[in-house]
Amino acid sequence: MAGSLKRQNRHIPSHVIMLIWVFIVLFPLWVLVINSFKTRLTIYENPFWIPKQWNFKNYTTVLRDGDFLTYFKNSFVVVTLSLVIVTLVTSLAGYALASWKSRFSSFLYFLLIAGMMLPIKIASIRLLEITRALGLLNTIWSLPPIYIAMGIPVGVFILTTFIREIPKELMEAAYIDGATSFKIYHMILLPLIRPALATVAIYNLIPFWNDLWFPLIFINTEDQKTLLLGVTRLFGQYQTDWSKVLAVLTLSAIPVLVLYLTMSQQFIKGITAGAVKG
């Protein structure tokens, strides 16, 4: 009895730290959501508590009068296309690099993950010139190549490490049975690396969805703007209607939360893979 109490008491500090961390994470979301249901002036009365009267006009105005749906569609197309290509390319690259043992493969692996240490924004001027030369300026199609280049280094790092932990006997047995490399990849590897794929997708989703830098540089056409770039229209020179800004930001956070909640189990498996060996 005393031993079990000691073990329970030993976990109290970690529980307290976790509760504090949960509060730190959820408090900005709380402020974001409750203030999106207030008017422009009532936000300043008490920005940290629920409104006395709920105001839904911010959401109806944004959805009816603004271009929110156009911006949302543009962001959704760009991010979805980028994530699909990133996960496909990095899974194929991880499969190849994990199976190919040579000095050149090691050099290629370190060359790819070196992109994690070099911020792509330092090449913004050169990327702008390339985008203009390709005729992609002022279109949403200028963004996926940038995001794919951003996501490949971390994707290759995660998936190559994950695939190397898979017993080689599984793929060797399939190869002996006559399976091709593509069939091994499709039938055996993909089901096993779903947690790692979820990790790569969620890890890249946040910077892709919340990126403002490259849309601001590449896109000026109104119907081609992404969601976060469209929010800047609500900022005035002398005053800003923060209630509508927060309403748009609340709506823009929904896809990220939905994807995380639907893939959270796979995500946790992916980031903890290899932590315990048995």
**C-beta of residue 199 within 8 angstroms of C-beta of residue 158:** yes
Looking at the structure, tell me whether residues 118 and 12 fall in a common domain.
no
Looking at the structure, tell me whether residues 1 and 138 fall in a common domain.
no
Q: What is the mean pLDDT of residues 105-126?
A: 85
Looking at the structure, tell me whether residues 112 and 18 fall in a common domain.
no
Residue 1 is assigned to a structural domain of this protein: yes
Range of the domain at 96: 36-272
- pLDDT tens-digit profile of 124-141? 999 999 999 999 999 999
Residue 278 is assigned to a structural domain of this protein: no
Looking at the structure, tell me whether residues 262 and 157 fall in a common domain.
yes
Assign residue 139 the CATH number of its domain. Answer: 1.10.3720.10
Question: What's the number of CA atoms in the CB half-sphere (13 Å) around residue 225?
Answer: 18
Measure the CA–CA gap between 41 and 43, rounded to whole angstroms.
5
Q: Tell me: pLDDT of 277 over 60.
A: no
| Angle made by CA atoms 169, 267, 70, in degrees to the nearest 5 | 125
Q: What is the mean pLDDT of residues 184-212?
A: 87
For 143, 224, 229, 247, the CA distances from 63, given in Å and listed in that order, are 25, 17, 16, 10
Q: What is the mean pLDDT of residues 180-188?
A: 83
Looking at the structure, tell me whether residues 260 and 185 fall in a common domain.
yes
For the chain, the domain total comes to 2
Q: Tell me: pLDDT of 275 over 50.
A: no
Residue 205 is assigned to a structural domain of this protein: yes
For 11, 71, 110, 120, 221, the CA distances from 137, given in Å and listed in that order, are 55, 17, 32, 18, 9
